[in-house]
Amino acid sequence: TARQGAEALAAATLLCRNLNIKVPDDAYVSVGTAGLDSSSCLPPTWSPTERRALLTRSLFDGATYGCIRFHHRITMEYLAASWLSERMRDGCPQDHLDDLIFALHQGEHILRPTLAPVAAWLANGSKPHNIQVRERLLQSDADVHLKYGDPEQLPIEYKKRILNALSS
């Protein structure tokens, strides 16, 4: 579906730290453009027509120098978190998610700044990976919920723990 494709592209842009996606347009050949190739980011079953249909949705800004970007960074971060949650439901080990989002330094988990918004979105929910991300965030960077994600979706008890952590 278009949603799954958007999630895959959002995850690719954040994980590759490249917000540009090349426009698959035969009429324009971009030389040296450092954008991601959507055909490499989307499942191989996607046809060029399906890729083009996704990339022309209002989810993306208009093309500039042969590349497009997600229109809103918050949407991209939410979609990337959704993609990661789906990987967790598919059986990805929890320690892989931990290693992706947190660095372990002298026995402490440190939130990777580039993935802080994604971590905040991943903290929402009741699955084991959501709970573990919440606990890691509380230990490493409790104020991330004041900047990113949707704190309204967090459990009330966890919100109390955030406030306690921030006030101490």
**pLDDT, position 30:** 52
> Can you say whether the dihedral through the CA atoms of 65, 66, 67, 68 is positive or negative?
positive
Residue with token string 């895959």 = 8
**pLDDT, position 62:** 83
Report pLDDT digits (tens) over 108-144.
999 999 999 999 999 999 999 999 999 999 999 999 9
End-to-end CA distance of the chain: 46
Distance (Å, whole) CA 96 – CA 105: 16
The pTM of this model reads 0.90
**pLDDT, position 17:** 93
Q: What is the mean pLDDT of residues 141-148?
A: 94
Report pLDDT digits (tens) over 15-54.
999 999 998 765 455 555 589 999 999 999 999 999 999 9
Please state the separation of Cα 135 from the chain's center in Å.
Answer: 19
Report pLDDT digits (tens) over 89-100.
999 999 999 999
